[in-house]
């Protein structure tokens, strides 16, 4: 098996593990376990907690003491055991603790999988910038494949989705140990704990432009987990009004259009970023979030199915234009000595603080609009749309940035 194919398998399984439950787990907790919106939101918020510090800690381990591929394998093996345990639990407190531990071992593997891929490609003499993206896209394909498998098997409201994820994590945990060695790099001189955790990048907060950018990165990051947590439960509530329709019978297949859209919009980022600059691209992302939530509010699995499908397509723009473009902008604005730390800070603000706040507050919103067990989904989604609209109004007023196509082109095409 060629090294590219081996890395494709690794990236495919990395996100297959996540896609097996991320989108459908909220529906399982609400419909099958009877959890409240606040409880579901708090469990999804564990991913934000895990992203605050565990990627940095596992990065230290891989940088200083243990091969990166071994750290990746160990994390997935622990994750497999935790997911199996979670499949047997029905009470909130225990499940919360298990999923928190699972987030602490899974979230670092996203960065570790990238690290292993970069190291292996560099060892084999490949151009990473040209070679890695076609490999990484198989991660998104793996996520979609897992969603389809769980949906077509009828497990979206069943604990069996966790068995699928656990089996995939077990396979990947063993498979990671077969990858070419990625030993720790001996650092030149001493490295402080603050630097290792990526916290030295907080110096960027001294610049008003970057402070505003990171605040909005956190606020946009709050939008990421909302439809992950409640999209499946929302579609399930249409069962009585639209029995037998595609969106009700196959919620994961419908929601997977969002991930398909990602693979298309990511290809357009270099053009938009160089042509319009980060301010306009971020504004496009915010407006896309308004439509993402607004179309959920007015669509349905019947005659309004086209609005739900359009919402899924728009998600690719909402996510990629914020997440990928923001990462490129941070790379350009940070000094060379803190670029890696700046990327860590971007992840903390979006996948850490942002995801935690978004999942927690969205759970409160769902509970607020729930009366006698009946959820007013239109009001729920319109609230989220209004939140995004406020961000879209404020962002261009407070984020002062002058686009330089030549400098941004150096980052995009490097």
Percent of the chain whose predicted confidence (pLDDT) is above 70: 88
pLDDT band, residue 66 (cuts 50/70/90): confident
The whole-angstrom distance between residue 150's C-alpha and the CA centroid of its chain comes to 19
Q: Could you give the CA distance from residue 414 to residue 409 in angstroms, rounded to a whole number?
A: 8
DSSP 180: P
Domains of the chain, with CATH numbers?
Answer: 1-183 (1.20.1250.20), 194-414 (1.20.1250.20)
- Closest by CA to 356, choosing from 223, 231, 257, is 223
330-365 tens-digit pLDDT: 767 777 656 556 766 777 888 888 888 888 898 899
pLDDT for position 262: 82
263-304 tens-digit pLDDT: 788 777 777 877 888 889 889 999 999 999 999 999 999 999
pLDDT band, residue 29 (cuts 50/70/90): very high
pLDDT for position 263: 79
138-192 tens-digit pLDDT: 888 899 999 899 989 999 899 999 999 999 999 999 999 999 888 876 555 555 5
Residues paired with residue 195 on neighbouring β-strands, in sequence order = none
Tell me the whole-structure pTM to 2 decimals.
0.77
Cβ proximity of 45 and 254 under 8 Å: no
Residues 332-339: contacts with CB under 8 Å, at least 24 apart: 332/407, 332/408, 332/410, 332/411, 333/204, 333/210, 334/201, 334/204, 338/200, 338/201, 338/203, 338/204
pLDDT for position 405: 64
pLDDT for position 190: 54
All residues at 6 or more sequence positions from 279 whose CB lies less than 8 Å from its CB, including other chains: 396, 399, 401, 403
pLDDT for position 186: 58
Residue range 217-230: mean pLDDT, rounded:
84
Q: What is the phi/psi pair of residue 370, to 5°?
A: -110, 120
Please report which residue ranges of 299-400 form alpha helices under DSSP H: 305-333, 339-347, 355-368, 377-398
């Amino acid at each position: 098996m060629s090294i590219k194919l081996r890395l494709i398998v690794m990236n495919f399984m990395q996100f297959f593990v996540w896609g097996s439950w991320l989108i459908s787990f909220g529906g399982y907790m609400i419909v099958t376990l009877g959890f409240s919106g606040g409880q579901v939101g708090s469990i999804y918020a564990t991913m934000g907690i895990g992203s605050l510090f565990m990627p940095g800690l596992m990065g230290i381990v891989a940088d200083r003491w243990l091969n990166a591929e071994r750290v990746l394998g160990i994390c997935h093996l622990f994750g497999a055991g935790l997911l199996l345990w979670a499949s047997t639990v029905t009470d909130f407190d225990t499940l919360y603790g298990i999923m928190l531990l699972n987030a602490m071992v899974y979230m670092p593997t996203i960065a570790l999988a990238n690290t292993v891929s970069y190291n292996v490609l560099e060892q084999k003499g490949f151009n990473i910038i040209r070679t890695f993206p076609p490999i990484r896209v198989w991660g998104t394909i793996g996520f979609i494949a897992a969603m389809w498998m769980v949906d077509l098997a009828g497990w979206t409201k069943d604990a069996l989705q966790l068995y699928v994820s656990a089996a995939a994590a077990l396979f990947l945990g063993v498979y990671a140990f077969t990858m070419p060695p990625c030993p720790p790099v001996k650092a030149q001189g001493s490295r402080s704990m603050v630097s290792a955790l990526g916290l030295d990048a907080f110096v960027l907060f001294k610049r008003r432009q970057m402070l505003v950018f990171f605040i909005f990165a956190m606020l946009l990051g709050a939008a990421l987990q909302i439809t992950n947590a409640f999209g499946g439960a929302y579609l399930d509530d249409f069962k009585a009004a639209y029995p037998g329709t595609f969106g009700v019978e196959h919620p994961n297949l419908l929601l997977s259009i969002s991930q398909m859209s990602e693979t298309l919009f990511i290809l357009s980022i270099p053009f938009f970023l160089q042509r319009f600059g980060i301010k306009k691209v971020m504004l496009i992302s915010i407006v896309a979030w308004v439509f993402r939530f607004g179309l959920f509010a007015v669509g349905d699995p019947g005659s309004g199915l086209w609005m739900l499908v359009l919402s899924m397509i728009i998600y690719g723009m909402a996510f990629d234009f914020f997440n990928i473009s923001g990462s490129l902008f941070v790379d350009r604005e940070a000094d060379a000595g803190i670029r890696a730390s700046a990327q860590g800070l971007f992840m903390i603000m979006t996948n850490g603080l942002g995801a935690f706040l978004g999942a927690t507050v969205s759970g409160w919103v769902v509970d607020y609009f729930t009366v006698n067990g009946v959820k007013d989904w239109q009001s729920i989604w319109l609230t989220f749309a209004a939140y995004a609209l406020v961000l879209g109004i404020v962002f261009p007023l407070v984020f002062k940035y002058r686009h330089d196509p030549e400098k941004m082109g150096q980052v995009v095409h490097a």
